[in-house]
């Protein structure tokens, strides 16, 4: 199955810009951008972002306001603030080099176990499985036959399946197979390149959840996300260091709801208030 998967990927890989590099910082940025973002759109955004901030030092040198403006259109703006904070930590603690240790990576702001393993596999060729939703589903079905295992055992089994010296290609290949064929609903088993060896298909495609758990953050309700986006858009459009007055409702959201969301954004480090005034805010300038 390993050789079949790697051969299939060599001939059928999706052409995504960030797959052309194994630079650790570039990989880390691509993984952060790709969270909750469709792959092709993430690749285009990554090309723009990495051209402007090609190293941790380049990102660490700018203010959170600049990063939030650069992040426009990608959603989940907390990721931008956390990525800059991670860049600062990398510069201060690791001389500007992304660490190659799982413990060091997950200690960086905004970096969880999935992202850490993805960086280790893709950038450093460590034989570890980065279990995003697609990879988890392929491993759970094809290799384990939809067997439900405790999380630690599932991770250990998935690590064992990673072929030595091919961790990056393996990671990308399973992502693509999961996205194209081993879909959560209506899997395309008849076209899947590993159908002949798939334990899940051989067992008659038993029901049961094999993609439990997720590395992705729990999203805000759609209406709250819309409001947060409109608040940040107003701040992005304001001149640098200028406070914006939020003295009225926004859309269908009453003024008190706007102020509550401004307070949350302030607590998350994405904006600052004008003294004690809860309705005057700006992107963090320093």
How would you write 226-275 as a 3-class SS string? HHHHHHHHHHHHCCCCCCEECCCCECCECHHHHHHHHHHHHHCCCEEEEC
**Known catalytic residue at 31:** yes
Query: Distance (Å, rounded) from C-alpha 146 to C-alpha 139?
Result: 9
Number of neighbouring beta carbons within 10 Å of residue 47: 13
Which residue, 141, 137, 160, 135, is CA-closest to 202?
A: 141
Helix axis angle, 167-180 to 113-124, nearest 10°: 120
Q: Are strands 271-274 and 244-245 parallel, antiparallel or unpaired?
A: unpaired
Which is the catalytic residue, given 31, 237, 261, 268?
31
- Residues annotated catalytic, as ranges: 31
């Amino acid at each position: 199955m390993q050789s079949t998967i790697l051969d299939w990927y060599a001939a059928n890989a999706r052409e995504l810009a960030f797959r052309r590099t194994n630079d650790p910082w570039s990989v880390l940025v691509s993984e952060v951008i790709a969270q909750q973002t469709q792959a092709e759109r993430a690749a285009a955004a990554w090309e723009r972002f990495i051209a402007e901030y090609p190293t941790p030092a380049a990102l660490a040198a700018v203010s959170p306001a600049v990063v939030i403006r650069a992040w426009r259109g990608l959603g989940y703006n907390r990721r931008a603030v956390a990525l800059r904070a991670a860049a600062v930590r990398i510069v201060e603690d690791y001389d500007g080099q992304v660490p190659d240790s799982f413990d060091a990576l997950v200690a960086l702001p905004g970096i969880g176990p999935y992202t850490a393993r993805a960086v280790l596999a893709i950038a450093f060729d460590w034989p570890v499985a980065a279990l995003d939703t697609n990879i988890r589903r392929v491993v759970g079905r094809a290799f384990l036959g939809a067997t439900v295992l405790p999380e630690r055992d599932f991770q250990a089994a998935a690590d064992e399946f990673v072929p030595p010296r091919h961790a990056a290609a393996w990671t990308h290949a399973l992502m693509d197979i999961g996205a194209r064929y081993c879909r959560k609903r209506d899997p395309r088993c008849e076209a899947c390149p590993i159908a002949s060896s798939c334990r899940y298909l051989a067992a008659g495609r038993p029901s049961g959840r094999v993609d439990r758990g997720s590395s992705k953050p729990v999203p805000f309700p759609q209406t709250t996300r819309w409001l947060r986006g409109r608040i940040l858009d107003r701040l992005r459009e304001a001149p640098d260091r200028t406070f914006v007055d939020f003295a009225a409702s926004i859309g269908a959201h009453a003024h008190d709801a706007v102020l509550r969301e401004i307070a949350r954004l302030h607590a998350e480090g994405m904006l600052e208030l004008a003294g004690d005034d809860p309705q005057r805010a700006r992107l963090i300038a320093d």
